[in-house]
Amino acid sequence: MIRRKRLAVGALALLAALAAGPAFPTSAAADETDGRPTPQVELVLDVSGSMRERDVDGGSRMAAAKQAFNEVLDATPEEVRLGIRTLGANYPGDDRKEGCKDTEQLYPIGPLDRVEAKTAVATLTPTGWTPIGPALQAAARDFQEGEGTRRIVLITDGEDTCAPLDPCEVAREIAARGIGLTIDTLGLVPDAKTRDQLLCIAEATGGTYTSVQHKEELADRVGQLVERAADPTVTPVAVEGTGACEGAPVLKSGLYTDRADFGKARWYRVDLEPGQELRAAVSVAADREVTPGYGVLLRAVTVHGREMVRGEASGHGRTDLVSTGLRLPKAQSDEDDAPAEVVCLAVTHSFSPAAGVKTTPGLPVELTVDVVDGPSDADDVAAFGLGRGWWLLGALVVTGFLAGLVWGWISRWRVAVWRTN
**Averaged pLDDT in 10-residue chunks for the chain of 421 residues:** 41 41 38 66 95 90 93 92 95 92 95 94 94 96 87 92 89 85 89 87 85 86 86 73 94 89 93 88 83 88 92 73 82 61 93 85 89 59 42 62 69 62 59
- pLDDT of the residue at 392: 55
CA distance 73 to 229: 14
- Report CA-CA distances (Å) from 190 to 186, 286, 349, 351: 10, 11, 21, 16
Give yes or no for a contact between 285 and 349, defined as CB atoms under 8 angstroms apart.
Answer: no
pLDDT in tens, 164-181: 889 999 999 998 887 889
At residue 381, the pLDDT reads 39
Q: Would you say 201 and 168 are in contact if contact means Cβ atoms under 8 Å apart?
A: yes
pLDDT at res. 360: 85
pLDDT for the residue numbered 407:
67
Asked whether 251 and 370 are in contact (CB, 8 A), the reply is no
- Which whole-number Å values give the CA distances from 161 to 121, 137, 158, in the listed order? 23, 15, 9
Cα separation of 83 and 103, whole Å? Answer: 14
Query: What local confidence, expressed as pLDDT, does residue 415 receive?
Result: 57
**Strand 40-46's sheet: what is its strand order?**
103-110, 81-87, 40-46, 150-156, 181-187, 209-211
- Phi, psi of 285, rounded to the nearest 5 degrees: -105, 140
Q: How far apart are CA 280 and CA 272, in angstroms?
A: 13
**How many Å apart are CA 271 and CA 213, to the nearest integer?**
41
Q: Coil, strand, or helix at residue 134?
A: helix
Give the C-alpha separation, 101 to 90, whole Å: 10
pLDDT, position 418? 58
Contact assessment for residue 260 and residue 349, using Cβ atoms and an 8 Å cutoff: yes
Q: What is the pLDDT of residues 312-331, one digit of tens each?
A: 888 776 556 788 888 888 65
Confidence (pLDDT) at 3: 41
Note whether 349 and 393 are within 8 A (CB): no
Which pLDDT belongs to residue 292? 78
Domains of the chain: 38-230 (3.40.50.410), 242-374 (2.60.120.380)
> What residues contact residue 246 under an 8 Å CB cut-off, 6+ apart?
303
Indicate the angle between helix axes 2-20 and 391-420, nearest 10 degrees.
Answer: 150
Record the pTM: 0.55
